[in-house]
């Protein structure tokens, strides 16, 4: 037992030393450009006519497409892919796909050797098997905390090394107060601002009062950011009960104005979460026009 602890500690120390040698600075010089995008978060890439029309109408040029999740699997004794997407359809010409992988927090509580390489290799194979070409960028979605931030950043370094192309990550509001991650840019998730485990009068998807405390970090955050806004409904589980929430259009726009006031560039590249007929029909076209207003 002691031996394994010593080995683990040594491995950890070695990892930290190595981490200290590599450049961990965010790539502040990346330019995300101007444009509109959506997240695609279903398990089957299949677009109906409404969704295709949405992509056309709002000039969506990028789809951040969830390829799979990485979750802890006790049987396999390590992180495993889960809920892998099926490609029953293709995106319209001219729309870039950004493979996006969500990694649960427990996967990165400790180092997992080779995880970054496996992840990148899998994305490449998925692209090849499904005839998806021209992929330049990938995005990692992970709710890191101060506790596992260093491990996550080390992991991002490894992903960047294995991938070679553009790498982005999601940034939750609470993460703005931390050191910036070593990626090309961050997708600022301006949603899921409430505590998902508690009943409160505030909307857990988005509430101005929950965004306000983080505004002061926006201007100085040393990483290019794009903004992602919620148009989804959320079935959240609170003490075992699932409840459906949505955000009213004026509330989204109010927050958009708030954050853009603090950081002008945030209006340049806009993502909505997520592409789905129900979400499209939830809001009037004017709302989408305003959300995607640069």
Partner 1 sequence: MKRFIITNLLAALAMPMLACIGGWTTNFYLFHIYDEQDFSDRVQTICRDNWKAYLGKSPDDWFWYDADEVMEAAKAKGDNIMVSYVQNLEQYLECARKVSYDQWEYPTKEELAERGKTLQAVRNYALGKLKTRLRSQHALLYMRCNMLLGNHQENVTFWQEIADKYIETVYKEMMKNIYAGALYKTGRLAEAGEIFAEMGDYNSLMTQYYKKRSFAAIRQEYLNNPNAKVLPFLLQDFVNNAQEADDATNPDAEGTGGKLFIRDITKSEALQMRDFCEQVVKEGKTTTPIMWKTAKAWLEYMFADKREAAKDIIAAASLDGTEKMKECTRSLILYITARQAKDSETFDNYLTDELQWLEQNSQYNYVKERVLHQALKRHYAGQPLRLISLYKALGSYEYENYIDTMRTDRLEKYLYFVNTPGNNTLDNYLKSHAKPAPYELEDLIGTKYMRVCQWDKAITWLKDIPKSFYEERGYAVYVANRSWLVEPWITRQFLKNDIEYGDHKWQLANNPKLTFAREMQKMEGELNVLNGQAAAQRCYDLAVRYAQAHFRGDCWWLMHNSKSSEETQREGDSDLAKKAISLLQKASLSQDPELKERALFALSYGELYTKYWYGIVWNNQTYNYDRQPDPEAEQFAAFENLLKFEENRTPAPYVSRCDEYKQFQKLRYM
Binding interface with partner 1 (CB under 8 A)? 12, 42-44, 46, 68, 80-84, 86, 110, 118, 121-122, 125-126, 128-129, 146-147, 150-151, 235, 237, 239-245, 278
Least separation in angstroms between CB 225 and partner 1: 25
Check if the beta carbon of residue 231 is closer than 8 Å to that of residue 279.
yes
Question: Rounded to an integer, what distance in angstroms lies between the CA atom of residue 277 and that of residue 282?
Answer: 8
Nearer Cβ to partner 1, position 23 or 242?
242
Nearer Cβ to partner 1, position 278 or 289?
278
Least separation in angstroms between CB 84 and partner 1: 4
Residues in the chain, overall count? 294
Tokens of 6: 């010593």
**Residues 257, 174, 169, 205, CA torsion sign:** negative
Least separation in angstroms between CB 160 and partner 1: 20
Q: What is the CB-side half-sphere exposure of residue 209 using CA atoms within 13 A? A: 7
How large is the C-alpha radius of gyration of the chain? Answer: 19
Least separation in angstroms between CB 52 and partner 1: 17
Nearer Cβ to partner 1, position 83 or 212?
83
CA angle in degrees (0–180, nearest 5) for 232-144-138: 65
Least separation in angstroms between CB 149 and partner 1: 8
Nearer Cβ to partner 1, position 148 or 267?
148
Nearer Cβ to partner 1, position 63 or 225?
63
Least separation in angstroms between CB 200 and partner 1: 12
Nearer Cβ to partner 1, position 159 or 226?
159
Closest to 233 (Cα-Cα) out of 41, 36, 37: 41
Give the burial class of 21: count Cβ atoms within 10 A of its Cβ; 0-12 exposed, 13-18 middle, 19 or more buried. exposed
């Amino acid at each position: 037992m002691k031996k394994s602890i010593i080995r683990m500690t040594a491995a950890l120390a070695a990892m930290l030393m190595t981490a200290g040698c590599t450049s961990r600075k965010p790539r502040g010089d990346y330019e995300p450009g101007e444009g509109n995008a959506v997240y695609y978060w279903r398990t089957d890439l299949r677009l109906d006519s409404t969704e295709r029309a949405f992509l056309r109408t709002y000039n969506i040029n990028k789809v951040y497409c969830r390829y799979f999740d990485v979750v802890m699997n006790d049987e396999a004794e390590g992180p495993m892919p889960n809920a892998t997407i099926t490609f029953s359809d293709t995106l319209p010409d001219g729309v870039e796909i950004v493979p996006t992988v969500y990694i649960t927090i427990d996967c990165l509580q400790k180092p997992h050797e080779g995880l970054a390489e496996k992840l990148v290799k899998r994305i490449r194979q998925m692209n090849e098997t499904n005839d998806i070409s021209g992929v330049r960028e990938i995005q990692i979605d992970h709710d890191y905390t101060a506790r596992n931030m260093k491990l996550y950043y080390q992991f991002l370094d490894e992903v960047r090394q294995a991938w070679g192309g553009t790498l982005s990550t999601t940034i939750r509001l609470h993460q703005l107060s931390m050191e910036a991650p070593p990626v090309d840019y961050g997708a600022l998730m301006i949603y899921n601002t409430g505590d998902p485990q508690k009943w409160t009068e505030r909307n857990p998807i988005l509430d101005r009062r929950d965004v306000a405390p983080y505004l002061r970090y926006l201007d100085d955050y040393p990483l290019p950011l794009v903004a992602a806004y919620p148009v989804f409904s959320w079935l959240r589980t609170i003490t075992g009960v699932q409840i459906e929430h949505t955000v009213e259009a004026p509330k989204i726009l109010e927050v958009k104005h708030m954050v853009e006031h603090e950081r002008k560039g945030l209006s340049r590249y806009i993502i909505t979460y997520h592409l789905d007929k129900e979400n499209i029909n939830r809001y009037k076209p004017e709302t989408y026009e305003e959300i995607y207003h640069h």
